[in-house]
Amino acid sequence: MHFLVILLNHTLDLFHGSFQDLIYLLDSEPILNQVQHKVQNDGSGSMKSIQDEWGHDPSVQSMRRVFSYMEKAQQELLGRSNISFFDKRLRSIREKALELFEQVWPLAVRKGMITSEKDAAPFYVHCLARALGSAGVEVPEELLPGDEKMIHFLKETLP
Tens digit of each residue's pLDDT (9 = 90 or more) over 104-119: 999 999 999 999 999 9
Tens digit of each residue's pLDDT (9 = 90 or more) over 2-43: 444 444 445 444 444 444 444 444 444 444 444 444 444 555
Question: 97 CB contacts (<8 Å, ≥6 apart)?
Answer: 124, 127, 128, 130, 131, 132
- Please report the pLDDT score of residue 85 as a whole number: 86
Beta-carbon count within 10 A of 68 CB: 13
Q: Could you tell me which of 107, 94, 92 has the C-alpha nearest to residue 154? A: 107
Domain chopping of the chain, boundaries: 2-40, 58-157
The alpha carbons of the chain give a radius of gyration, in whole angstroms, of 18
Question: 155 CB contacts (<8 Å, ≥6 apart)?
Answer: none
